[in-house]
Amino acid sequence: MLLTFALMEHRGEIIEQAIRKSGMPLATIARKMGKSRRWLYLLFQNPQVSLDIVEQLGKLIYYDFSNEIQLLKNYNTVSDEQQINYKDSEVTIWKEKYFILMEEHLELLRKLAVFEKMNHQ
């Protein structure tokens, strides 16, 4: 029974409903996907939209299609081994480097302001 339901679901219609509920303009979605609005309208008519496209659109509109598209529950484009996991220490190191650069930048801006004041007097 579940297999029959999975084969009968119209992915294009499901996607269209979710996109319209999201409130995001079709032109924006098309542009972010690198496609045209016409492509989106054709997608809405396609009952067998690829799961890759479904996932991309879901991420774009912050929507989980796995409740409506049964095959998506077991589908994962990125395996656990491929996902990048940063340790807290790595993140902290990069944050510290960023803050140091920002402080140096601010100091240079202050020196530039003093230099410009001296030249205008």
Contact by Cβ (8 Å): 10, 45: no
The verdict on pTM exceeding 0.85 is: no
Cα–Cα distance measured from residue 106 to residue 100, given in angstroms and rounded to the nearest whole number: 10
Residue 5 has pLDDT above 90, yes or no: no
Read off the pLDDT band of 121 (50, 70, 90). Answer: confident
Cα–Cα distance measured from residue 18 to residue 44, given in angstroms and rounded to the nearest whole number: 11
Query: To the nearest whole percent, how much of the chain has pLDDT over 70?
Result: 81
Tokens of 92: 């902290």
Using the 8-state DSSP alphabet, how is residue 49 labeled? -
Contact by Cβ (8 Å): 12, 47: yes
Q: Which residue has the higher pLDDT, 11 or 94?
A: 11
Query: To the nearest whole percent, how much of the chain has pLDDT over 90?
Result: 55
Per-residue pLDDT reduced to its tens digit, 38-50: 999 999 999 999 9
